Amino acid sequence: MTDRHAFSVSTAPLEEQCEGLIARITVAAVAGVDWIQIREKDLDGARLAELARAVLAQVSPKCRILINDRLDVAYAVGAAGVHLGERSISVQDAKLFTRQKSISQPFSIGVSVHSLEAAQRAESDGADYVIFGPIFATPSKVAFGEPQGLERLGRICSALKIPVMAIGGITVETAPQCYARGAAGIAGIRIFQEQPKLESLVTQLRRF
């Protein structure tokens, strides 16, 4: 998941910030990161589409590029999917849109959830995967309250048939604990953006 503000000077021109982000995404894709969610919530539709197209032009199709929240942008640029938040359109509306547009390529619809009930609802509505958290304490997820913990992660993984991704304060040391509870993968910002040697990180994570 991206956040250009995490490694860009806030006063730098937007074009420069986006160039830095594109470069970092390219490095992550080459390192073997499977999915990258472009999560630049402050960009308007035009800017986001421009950024996404630039990323897709640089990245191998082996790395799936998803767009946060903006289903319209994801469709317009030919992204691999959209990730919906609590305030996004519903999964059902997103599914309806993809049917009406007759999207032939694989297109994933994911949802951020913070409870078992929300996870089950997302699955029943047709979501392809959910991201659950925060598992551990992390500054970016303070608004969502106390960490969910590994026990709740395990319950959700056991209750759902679709993949569950764990998020929130995950490190190389704690990732194995998430997998042991049934997580299909891990998601995050800092674990990937702050790692100077991404290939080494991805290699370590694939061992679990």
pLDDT tens profile 37-76: 999 999 999 999 999 999 999 999 999 999 999 999 999 9
Nearest to 3 by CA among 45, 42, 55: 42
H runs (alpha helix) in the chain:
14-31, 45-58, 71-77, 91-100, 116-125, 149-159, 175-180, 190-193, 198-206
- CATH superfamily name and code, 4-206: Aldolase class I (3.20.20.70)
Q: Are 14 and 23 in contact (CB under 8 A)?
A: no
Nearest to 178 by CA among 140, 135, 116, 118: 135
Provide the pLDDT for residue 105. 83
The span from the CA of 133 to the CA of 114, in Å, is 6
Provide the pLDDT for residue 142. 63
For the chain, give every domain's residue range: 4-206
% residues pLDDT > 70 (the chain): 95
The span from the CA of 129 to the CA of 167, in Å, is 13
Please compute the mean of the pLDDT values over residues 77-100 and round it to a whole number: 95
Provide the pLDDT for residue 101. 85
pLDDT tens for residues 133-189?
999 987 765 666 789 999 999 999 999 999 999 999 999 999 999 999 999 999 999
Provide the pLDDT for residue 11. 74
CB count in 10 Å sphere of residue 45: 11
